[in-house]
Amino acid sequence: MMLLVNCSNCHTPLQLPPGATSIRCAICQAITYLTTQPSLYNHVQPASAHGQKRAVIIGISYKYSKNELKGCINDAKNMKYLLTNKFKFPESSILMLTEEETDPYKIPTKYNMRLALYWLVLGCQPGDSLVFHYSGHGSRQINYSGDEVDGYDETLCPLDYKTQGMIVDDEINATIVRPLPRGVKLHAILDSCYSGTILDLPFLCRMSQSGHYSWEDHRPKSGVWKGSNGGEVFCISACDDHQKSDDTTVLSKVASTGVMTFCFIQAIERGHASTYGSLLSSMRNVIRNPTGRGYKKGGDGVATSLLALLTGGSLDSELSQEPQLTVCEPFDVYAKPFFL
């Protein structure tokens, strides 16, 4: 069984081969020696049977900070309920990271989030179904490599982002997308701002209000392949790369939730998610619809945008949040069945 250890210098998670006591980091070249207290995830056996389901669910509220969000932990709990009850994910195969966890390895710090993502894909085999759900702050930063269409890298904000930094889309892609072999399926469900291309997948589905769609090419000009190693990857994100997502009580009428997570779960529960196209259309219609149980801007909506909060900005009442779908290879979204 492979062990995961963090590089002693740059803290990048590394896979230590069986029997090895040290490893050299390919990024910074530092040598890391096996400690006597390896991480919790080192003891998790990789998948050994075909058809295994595994999920990482992360909800971060940033409690007691000026950037606090009210609905993210609710999102995490709701997603876990959906996976276990609707899609029959074993509870033991779901790793939850929230501030409410008592295990220190399950607090959503940058270190723990990185290890959780490595654990998600570790030892995956054909027939496996993997899910990554994140609800929390998202941000973006200038891209200097030239491989982003809009010139920005999208990021996720761990609980300790102020001291440890954010997790950039390039790292997420390298960790959970590119290693996936043929026969493995991954769904990433990201409820955060600027998350349209957060997995750096090659193709984005541009869908009009009438439901017509086309595939937008996001492959880097450098020619570097940022898709998988044959596996299927679907990223359903809260909004486009330039948009903000919301955290609100308007939809549930009871508790705060992320707009995107609520619409995603509702579409599935109401039978509106038979295909990827119907799922995406249903989610967008709930957000657009001002007369039904749709989401209206204003009220107690709080943007899950780190940039807006740090700059003291407010949610633009004219800005519409449009969930996005990105994938490795284009397909007919109204013909391909959706299932986790």
Structure-token match 């990024």, residue found: 27
Catalytic option among 7, 72, 124, 137: 137
Is residue 189 classed exposed, middle or buried when 0-12, 13-18 and 19+ CB atoms within 10 A define those classes? buried
Is 50 designated active site? no
d(CA 95, CA 240): 27
Among 207, 206, 211, 296, which Cα is nearest to 259's? Answer: 296
Give strand pairing partners of 16: 3
**DSSP helix/strand/coil, 196:** coil
Q: Report d(CA 83, CA 262) in Å as an integer.
A: 14
Helices marked H in 184-305 — which ranges? Answer: 259-269, 276-288
| Beta-sheet strand order (sheet of 213-217) | 94-98, 53-59, 129-135, 185-191, 232-237, 324-327, 203-207, 213-217
**Is 205 designated active site?**
no
Cα end-to-end span (Å), the chain:
27
68 CB contacts (<8 Å, ≥6 apart)?
Answer: 61, 62
Q: In this structure, what token pair is assigned to residue 324?
A: 């996005």
Q: Distance (Å, rounded) from C-alpha 29 to C-alpha 97?
A: 30
3-class secondary structure, 6: strand
Rounded to whole angstroms, the Cα distance separating 151 from 133 reads 25
Exactly one of 7, 193, 235, 239 is catalytic; which is it?
193
| Active site amino acids | 137, 193
